[in-house]
Structure 1
């Protein structure tokens, strides 16, 4: 049976590993960081919002990957499903301040999609949309993915891979028959890949405790900053957030922290505790500050030209010209969770094609 080494244990790497296992191959996941480790800027999946609301726009391939993923997670989130607790089915409400000139591809795909009525608009928005989707409880979801990889016979090796040749030559496990590179932002510096098109999209968020919030809301605030409120089934809520390209700063910034809080309470005053809302006064940042659990910061793996999802072959060092299939699955930007299952399915198809050559 073929053995596939998967490089990376974020949401994309673990989902890809799981689909490869389901296809009947042996899998070893090699990564420096895994679910359950302490928070680390290098492991962005911990800091994701994360909901399913495709941002693919006119990119038909990306949209298909997103919708294929939605089909999976919508089923996983069904009431009574053993994986229901990993998700929260919730309305997602987007507010728009600029004219919407193109048809929304979500209109024909998302449950209960409709345009907002004028009386539903907030903070000066001129239009908006409503549909049902899911949010991911990432701190439960990532360990669940990891556990499924292990339960189905996959293995995990903790290692700092500097070059893919280290894996091909068997430095961390037996020599694999194929590679799947799901290295996220690490694809920029990983030897043998070194994709200069990869760049960070810095995201800063705040996690609060507000179990009374039951719907996602979002709207554009200013360049690089979007206001959004994403509840999780645990009762935690993510407030965001930033989209700063080529920004490598590894820690939350205080000025951005305050902007996130101000934007969130303005958009969703319901974030304030019940006693504040019942008092009749306008909620302020100070009302939600005691609810803060932690501030977060992650480097989304952006890529010029978009997602890299393709196959190739790579030569095994010191093996007389032997070549093995390699599949690249990285550069998801802010859509790792949203396209994880779709891109994993396509990665498996590409892998099978590589073995047939």
Structure 2
């Protein structure tokens, strides 16, 4: 079944049409950038935004588990500026600028210049933010469709330009064997009064420690389990997360658990952000722009990557 928001689908293939595959933060952000510059955009996603990996992300804007590092920093810096603008309307966007600390870390100078000392970084309530992105897409004339694609070529039969933002799904969709899951586990507890975020400087470790104060509770993390795909909560892992966080804020030990979250980060040795031509099923070809493999930093680099993906698509009047 196809669920369509916005104006009705089912029209002839036109030069300026773009289909974005994937309805997580990368897909929605890319679709917003394309729609706001005049492209006729449809987002195809088998799950609603709240059912994507993006929905369970902690939401701190900070480069984490993404390569290449230099390029990722550029994407993150550009995204930081947009998130700072969004933070001017936190109730509408779900984005706030929150002070925090990352002891033992020495961020790049470009990043420190943005965050200041002590650092103040955007913290995103992903449930609210994904809804904001979907609304912003629709306001720009774009549409969201509950629809799965078997390959980019399937979308190319309906639009001359396809943007592949399928995340972990790119393993099968492309297919791309370089994409692999890195499982993250979080515990959400009632906030006992923690107002600043905390991230331990152990970003490459399997077990990490961070506390993120969100409007709905205090997010405790976390794990980075390479290759793990099981999404069921694990009581022992959750208890270990709480213990590590309680070593930073002892009051967390007695906080009531509200929720367990498990997500699979779409890791790739290098983010794939490039264009190629693919068959369109009509005897011709279509432009396919790939934008996936952002690891644990999809939210952090989303706007920078979206703008670069839009450049690869080209101006609306140029078509595919």
TM-score where L is the length of structure 2: 0.88
Q: How far off its partner does 1:270 sit?
A: 4.4
Change over 3 Å in CA distance of 1:14–1:238 after alignment to 2: same
Kindly indicate whether residue 271 of structure 2 is the aligned counterpart of residue 307 of structure 1: yes
Kindly indicate whether residue 113 of structure 2 is the aligned counterpart of residue 109 of structure 1: yes
Partner of 1:21: 35
Kindly indicate whether residue 286 of structure 2 is the aligned counterpart of residue 324 of structure 1: yes
Match of 2:59 among 50, 53, 76: 50
Structure 2: 5+ residue stretches without partners: 1-14
Query: How many residues are paired up?
Result: 303
- Work out whether residues 12 and 182 of structure 1, in 8 Å CA contact, stay in contact via their aligned partners in 2: yes
Deviation track 1:297-341 (CA, whole Å, cap 9, x = no partner) reads 00000002x111111111211x22x11111100000000000000
- Work out whether residues 97 and 120 of structure 2, in 8 Å CA contact, stay in contact via their aligned partners in 1: yes
Partner of 1:63: 73
How far apart, in 2, do the equivalents of 1:294 and 1:135 lie? 19
- Work out whether residues 171 and 179 of structure 2, in 8 Å CA contact, stay in contact via their aligned partners in 1: yes
How far apart, in 1, do the equivalents of 2:139 and 2:83 lie? 20
Classify the secondary structure of the residue corresponding to 2:200: strand
Classify the secondary structure of the residue corresponding to 1:247: coil
Structure 1: 5+ residue stretches without partners: 38-42, 114-129, 170-174, 272-284
Classify the secondary structure of the residue corresponding to 1:228: strand
Change over 3 Å in CA distance of 1:199–1:105 after alignment to 2: farther
Kindly indicate whether residue 205 of structure 2 is the aligned counterpart of residue 230 of structure 1: no
Classify the secondary structure of the residue corresponding to 2:314: helix
Q: How far off its partner does 1:57 sit?
A: 8.7
- Work out whether residues 152 and 288 of structure 2, in 8 Å CA contact, stay in contact via their aligned partners in 1: no
Partner of 2:6: none
Larger RCO, structures 1/2 (Cα 8 Å, 6+ apart):
2
- Work out whether residues 17 and 319 of structure 2, in 8 Å CA contact, stay in contact via their aligned partners in 1: no
Kindly indicate whether residue 83 of structure 2 is the aligned counterpart of residue 73 of structure 1: yes
How far apart, in 2, do the equivalents of 1:62 and 1:177 lie? 29
How far apart, in 1, do the equivalents of 2:91 and 2:308 lie? 23
How far apart, in 2, do the equivalents of 1:201 and 1:242 lie? 9
Match of 2:139 among 140, 143, 151: 151
TM-score where L is the length of structure 1: 0.79
Please say which structure displays the higher CA radius of gyration.
Answer: 1
Kindly indicate whether residue 301 of structure 2 is the aligned counterpart of residue 339 of structure 1: yes
Cα root mean square deviation, aligned = 2.2
How far apart, in 2, do the equivalents of 1:268 and 1:162 lie? 47
How far apart, in 2, do the equivalents of 1:142 and 1:107 lie? 25
